[in-house]
Amino acid sequence: MAVQHDVVWQNFAVTSSDRAKLLRQAPFVLWFTGLSGAGKTTLANLVAKRLHDLRYHAYVLDGDNLRQGLNRDLGFTVADRQENVRRMAEVASLIHDSGLIALAACISPFATEREFARSLLPPGRFVEVFVDAPLELCEQRDNKGLYRRARAGEIADFTGIDSPFERPANPELVMDTGRLTPAECTDAIMEYLVEKDLVVADWTRTRQ
């Protein structure tokens, strides 16, 4: 990537901290990673609803949704999937900077891209959630037929079939969706956020 020497970072009067104070919350990023069909989007959606019910301001970034807009120019080669994750990480960082909570649901199979996403956030504000499920279970859940097409050779470089998924070495959370229900996973994630003071358990504030 070419370095643009004439591009200068602009600082503004209203800071990320100012926006967070106005929203009365601590912004952070929940990054859901795992195989296709593991349950990433399901958990991101459930956690977002729980946060909304507690009057937190959050936004879900879903890999499929971004591919219909921002990332629609990308295919599924290794390079394109890496760029897909890079863009999602940058958007998650911008959401965090706005004072909001970002919930990113993306296979993000490679450790380097996930570490890049982490590097964009202050310490403690990036929570990696490894949504762990056996490949066989993910294939059973595959209502889009992607695994069947990959095994038939119709889709190349498909994660879990002919392209690797690098399991996170030290994620903040591991959600075994083959053993735990979505509700149990959601409870566990919320308990972690409370424990880390990212969310207040008994928040009873009301909007003025």
The number of CA neighbours under 13 Å toward the Cβ of 105 is: 20
Q: Please report the DSSP string for 128-186 in residue order.
A: EEEEE--HHHHHHH-TT-HHHHHHTTSSSS-BTTTB-----SS-SEEEETTTS-HHHHH
Q: Would you state the structure tokens that stand for residue 85, as one six-digit string?
A: 């994750």
SS3 sequence, 88-110?
HHHHHHHHHHCCCEEEEECCCCC
The position carrying tokens 């959370």 is: 173
Pairing verdict, β 126-132 and 29-33: parallel
Q: What are phi and psi of 193, to 5 degrees?
A: -65, -35
Degrees to nearest 5, angle at CA 31 with 130 and 192: 70
**Catalytic (active-site) positions:** 108
Distance (Å, whole) CA 33 – CA 112: 13
